[in-house]
Chain A
Amino acid sequence: MNKLYGKISKIISHEGISLVNIETDQAVLGTVLIDTPESCTYLEIGKKITVAFKETEVAIGLKNIGTISMANQIPCKIEKITEGKILSKISLTCKGAKISSIITSNSSKRLNLNNGLEVIALVKANEISLLEE
């Protein structure tokens, strides 16, 4: 599980669903939750929170991605690639934090990923969970 740490900076709620922004050192990340500040005590502006997302939900984009719906974009550098027959694990560093992405080895080759390359880690807003510290 990838974890980044930050503070809740914005909450918009409507009919039981909330869009929550979290300011981390690496990027401002947005998540969609089936919760509201009324139903969930830790949803409050300024609250310190852990942002968690699974490695298999992290896509990799090269610089200059252009237009894409995924707003959660974390600039990273590839630290290591562990290549398997089917899946490859891309270990990334970003402003002091480490995250990883598991993508198909085909995609890793197609993008010509290699150590030291600067990439963007992309995560869909509905794949990000919040954990109370």
Chain B
Amino acid sequence: MISIDIKKSFKDIDFNFKVEIIKGSINALFGESGAGKTTFLRLLAGLETPNSGYIKVDNKIWFNKKINLTPQKRDIGFVFQDYALFPNMSIIENLRFAQSLKDEKFIEELLEMIDLKEERNSYPKQLSGGQQQRVALARAVARKPKLLLLDEAFSAVDSKLRSTLQNDIQNIHKRLNLTTIIISHDIAEVYKLASNVIVIEKGVIKKSGSPDILFENSQTSGKFRFSAKIMKIEKADTVYIVTLLIQNNLTKVVSTEEEILTMKVGDDVLVASKAFNPIIIT
């Protein structure tokens, strides 16, 4: 069990994170940008220091009034969106470097899990972006941490690669009996990976429970409704075509001149359709 009850004042926000996380679970942090998801991970990792409270992992104190373990002593694997591999080290050297206790057998196992056994002696720049991301994930767990933190690590990848990385996370999570916390805006990803969702609003943990709590948010109710960004507005015959970005997919919606007057490229909008219109193709 990981017990967290910490307070931190930072940039005019009073963060108050109180939650218990079950050992071996995959948890998704959910909330608007600026709500405090990254701050929560940074406090857990020891990259920020709380003003008060405690962090206890399996009965070991990581933080309280007297104790404040350094990030290196916290047994954490962390993957950021802008992960950086060491460019002058081969893949296997990158993994070895992350280990404090050498364990070649485990490195072999990791290379197998991320499907890069053949590329062990290649350098990062010789790999595709997706392969590099898989190495970053393997490196984060090379020293068998207790806690794996993923901060929108895979938000910038296409859906096929994303699915591969999600499978990697599931495999690694199971193999190491990790406790994992991920930040993701992708509800499909949250549904696929997480057994528990922690909802953060304005610096405070509002609720925590099964992924079904996401349905309580009206933006994601059972209807055909998505948040989107306007990418392009083009005139076509007597109508206009609005190109929208919905997560990683571009889609087009017909609109009228009057509606176009209220829109501009870059706007965040809600796209809705009646539940009757969409067709499902399997």
Give residues in A with beta carbon < 8 Å to B: 1, 32, 34, 54-56, 82-89, 100, 102, 126-129
**Known interface pairs A34-B275, A88-B238; 4 further A-B residue pairs with C-beta atoms within 8 A, sorted by A's residue number:** A1-B259, A56-B254, A89-B239, A100-B256
Q: Kindly identify which residue among A55, A86, A127, A128 contacts B237, using a CB–CB cutoff of 8 Å.
A: A86
Task: Give the distance in Å from the alpha carbon of A129 to the alpha carbon of B274 in the complex.
Answer: 7
CB distance from A124 to the nearest CB of B (A): 9
CB-CB nearest in chain B for A82: B238
A32–B256 CB distance below 8 A: no
- Can you list 8 A-B pairs, Cβ within 8 angstroms, ordered by A? A55-B256, A83-B238, A86-B238, A87-B237, A87-B239, A89-B238, A100-B256, A126-B274
Tally of contact residues, B, Cβ under 8 A = 13
Give chain A residues whose Cβ lies under 8 Å from the Cβ of B222.
Answer: 34
**Chain B contact residues, majority secondary structure:** loop
CB distance from B33 to the nearest CB of A (A): 26
CB-CB nearest in chain B for A81: B238
Give chain A residues whose Cβ lies under 8 Å from the Cβ of B272.
Answer: 129
CB distance from B135 to the nearest CB of A (A): 45
CB distance from A99 to the nearest CB of B (A): 11
Task: Give the distance in Å from the alpha carbon of A50 to the alpha carbon of B274 in the complex.
Answer: 15
Give chain B residues whose Cβ lies under 8 Å from the Cβ of A1.
Answer: 256, 259
B259–A84 CB distance below 8 A: no
Task: Give the distance in Å from the alpha carbon of A102 to the alpha carbon of B254 in the complex.
Answer: 11
Instruction: Give the contacts of B225-263 with A (CB-CB under 8 A).
Output: 237-239, 254, 256, 259
Q: Kindly identify which residue among A86, A102, A127 contacts B256, using a CB–CB cutoff of 8 Å.
A: A102
A84–B237 CB distance below 8 A: yes
Give chain B residues whose Cβ lies under 8 Å from the Cβ of A84.
Answer: 237-239
Give chain A residues whose Cβ lies under 8 Å from the Cβ of B275.
Answer: 34
Task: Give the distance in Å from the alpha carbon of A128 to the alpha carbon of B274 in the complex.
Answer: 8
Nearest 3 interchain pairs by C-beta: A84-B238, A84-B237, A126-B276
Task: Give the distance in Å from the alpha carbon of A94 to the alpha carbon of B239 in the complex.
Answer: 22
CB distance from A35 to the nearest CB of B (A): 9
Give chain A residues whose Cβ lies under 8 Å from the Cβ of B276.
Answer: 32, 126-127
Task: Give the distance in Å from the alpha carbon of A15 to the alpha carbon of B217 in the complex.
Answer: 23
A87–B274 CB distance below 8 A: no
B264 on the interface (CB 8 Å rule)? no
Give chain B residues whose Cβ lies under 8 Å from the Cβ of A89.
Answer: 238-239, 256
Give chain A residues whose Cβ lies under 8 Å from the Cβ of B254.
Answer: 54, 56, 102
